[in-house]
Structure 1
Amino acid sequence: HPRSVEAKYWLAESEYGAANYRAALKQYQAIADKQGHARREEGMYGVGWSNYRLNDYNKAITAFERLVATYPSGKFSFDARLRLGDSYFYLKDYRKAAGVYRAVVRLFPKKEETDYAYYQLAQSYFRMNDHEQATQQFTSLITTVPKSALADDAQYALGWIQFQKKQYEEAIKEFQKLSAMYPESELIPRTLYSLGDAYYNLKRFTSAEESYREVLRRFPKSTYVFDAINGLQYCLVAQGKQDDAIAVIDSYIKENSGSQAAEQLSLKKGDLLYGQKQFERAATAYREFVERYPQSIQRATALYWLAKSLDELNKISEAAAAYEQAASTKSASEKIVANALIDAISLYLKEKNYQQAFIAIGKAEKELGASEWAPEVAYLKATVFWENGALEEAKNQFEFVASRYGSTIQADKARVGLAKIHLRNQEYTNAQMLTHKVATSRIDEVGAEAQYLSGVTYSESKEWQSAITAFLRMRYVFPSHETWLAKAYLGLGAAYEEIRNLPKAREAYQNALKLRSEGETGDEATRRLKNLERF
């Protein structure tokens, strides 16, 4: 039909307008293939834009380059070149993007929309870390098109380049220019916040404080409020004004109680107090958050840190209840559920409340059985059996963990647990095999405990020279794990006493005292040294 191409064009336009870019592309391509047709230029332009909208930038590049080559002075020449530059930019080929934008600036110097080409040219140089050229192009935008909607963005970028170069004094000057030249810019809150950061990095805390406070005073609904209060708190803490940092949060919440930032800051207050080890006040802050924002997606987080605060205050039953409440909150992430239940189980173990520990383990197995925390839950279950004196169940569970979870830390902790059971049953060969496996494959605390138990196993079987070697290995392989090293020195001293090497025994006990002058280990070392005075 003589008007079929015209019909395809309007069909393509309709599909494009409905965001059906793939369907539009098919129709535009059919038009673009029609040599000499009046709609061919529109068809080629539509092919480029459809591919661009489909994020197929390589095909968009091909289409826009073909359009520009075919119609170098056509009605879409300017925009096609811009989109060609954008396509290279999104492919992170910033050198080619810069070449295209530079050509646009040269070919269309008086076109009002050239400001975008200047801006993108500067951004391309910035992405290539050519800060000198980026600065030059941002400046060109401001001087060439002073009324551009992008002029304030360019001015901010000039400040940000200096900030990135750690030239904070220069950054401050550029940010101050933006505030003076574009007082109504939407970038003013961000600029004031960045000014605060620049002053802070120069340790000019009073000036930084003023900038951050201006964000709060002038733009209390801005997305930069939370960051500004963070910066303000760092300033106040740096000046020794910790209480003022809390007061800033309280004041903002009071004046902007319904804002999203107020909710975030209410939680932040607890975090700040917890970080300052003011656990009683932190617990109060977290409780207030839970009561004030019962539907918050951060409710589980607040409950978890309430539990941590109570734990620090040694309010064990309250802490355990808060952990379980956090884990059962609908909005709780898997990480919160895992940490809360695991911490609750650990508290119940500490209190020897094995019944509640098993109940919490049951919940954890149900919620976390297929997760990355499953090995830890399985190991804790074995630990509860062990501490409750259910040795056969503990042995079976430790064996399950060691077998099921291979080379994980929980598997090695389970092997240490099995070694303790074998040691209790005087099955020294089995105990030694397990401790050797762990101690020679790890250099962390689990490895240190295994190495210590290796020495204990040799001592129990009265293989004194092997015990001495095992305990001495602690000093060379695990010197930073002082709790186990101090215990090893006690074992080493006892082994030396057995072979009548009393000077070495005395030296070992003295080394134990250097590491632990107080507590059970220190007391035992002191007692043994006194016993040696008789000889």
Structure 2
Amino acid sequence: MKKILFLTFNFLLVTSLFSLSYLEETYNTGVKQFQDGNYKSAVDSFDAVISTATKKNRDFLKKAYLYRADSMSELLQLDDALKEYVKITEKFPNTNESLRARLGIGLIYYKKNNYEKAREYLLNFVKRFPGTKITDDAQYWVGMLHFKNKNFKKATVSFNALVRNYPKSDYAADGWLRLGDSYFNLKKYKQAKNLYRKVLAKYPASPQAEFALYSVGRVYETEGAVFDAISVYVQFAEKYPTSQLSPEITYQVAEYFYKKKDYDKAARYFEQIASNFPEHNLAEDANFIRSKIYYKTGQPAAAINSFQKFVEEYPLSKNYAEAMLYIGNCYLDSSDYKKAIENYNIGLKLETSDSEIFAMMKYNSGVACEKIGNTLEAEKCYSEILYRYPKSLAAAEMYLRRGSEFERSGDYFAAIENYELAATLSKNKGIGNAESINGLLSTSDENLGAVAQKKAADCYFMQKKYKEAAREYLKVVYLFSDSQYVPESHYMSARASEEIGFIKDAKQNYEIVKKRYSDTQWAKKATERLQELNKK
């Protein structure tokens, strides 16, 4: 009998130990699944713990209930999660799990976008339980609730309470960041910028520092301080090259340097986008503009290779036809006219809604045909441009060519007419020296309008029509203000004014050239003219 009792006791002991071991193992598995974001499996594991545990396993039981509710919340099974949290407050009152469940109820209403209920639960939690380890959580979510509902003034109050009352909270860094965001949305940019810099100073290694640095740049950009914004964005691109924010920010940096014609820096940042984010929708544009930089910096072989890779990688790209235009241009610039025509013809067969690309390919194809002596085909191309694309950049090129031909023959009236058409077309297309990042302009094209306008003024000057010449030269200055021809045009306007006795106007323009363009030959000439005029 004693032996039977002994065996029974051992059996019950082993069974109890096995049961505890199973519970602990299953519970730990569920915790790991939760931490790994595998919430569905975590729910199953905690279900197993709850169905197996007895009253003796109360500690495992209450924790399993809470984890199960949290898992449901993460899975956005909000109604089920809400029921579970309520059940925890009833089954395990006055416990840490009950406290967390109360917070969980507030967060469920937050996720449900039930503003009033969420505010009620979260504010009530902060008031009823001011000294707990999770009161800062509730305070943070009160702030987020106001922020989410665009009540930024109340958000500043809540986030201020968080960072002042709970400076060591896990939410402190995010609290400072959100406080900055709240002020930003209130258009209080100075306060916002100071708060973002505080995040950078206090939490330099935190995830929030990344967003804070970006936000400093965003403040500068909103204030119109473009240079300061770009300086910050450059820091961001260097420090966080693989950030989810990096493609757009790096693209802004690359675009900025591209427009400033700092092509080395632009190329580096475009390459960074293409290399780090090959699947991002900006990678295509980055690769395309990187190819253009090879062309603009006089590297035709590299440009051809880069554009060919581009059309192979992006056969459906909106920039396909333009890539073929640039490949043709590279061959044209290298005097390989047959290859140029071949690539232009490939591009002309493509479907594109951009008539500018077609017109430019037709024009350049005509130039190539002319170079190999096929004047008949060249004239066909030129005629088609003026007939089908009369307002295109290519037409402006045509009018500039015609103007030069008329000028050489001494027909200044016809020359001026064609030059003015070219200048007007190019100005209407936005050409001066300012190019949109995806514009069709080559380096020589950028000054097309300024060249045409200056040539029209030259024709007036050569005819001794000085009043008209003075006026037309000033058009170069004001319509094409970034052009390399501005110093010369200022000087020539002064010369024309001098010829008709407008000495005051002449002196004024000479002084402008002397002061603004002191490192040019025109400044030297202007100084000489001023000395001559002052002698009289």
Question: TM-score, with normalisation over the residues of structure 1?
Answer: 0.49
Q: Which protein has greater RCO, CA pairs closer than 8 Å, 6+ apart?
A: 2
Question: TM-score, with normalisation over the residues of structure 2?
Answer: 0.49
Structure with higher Rg: it is 2
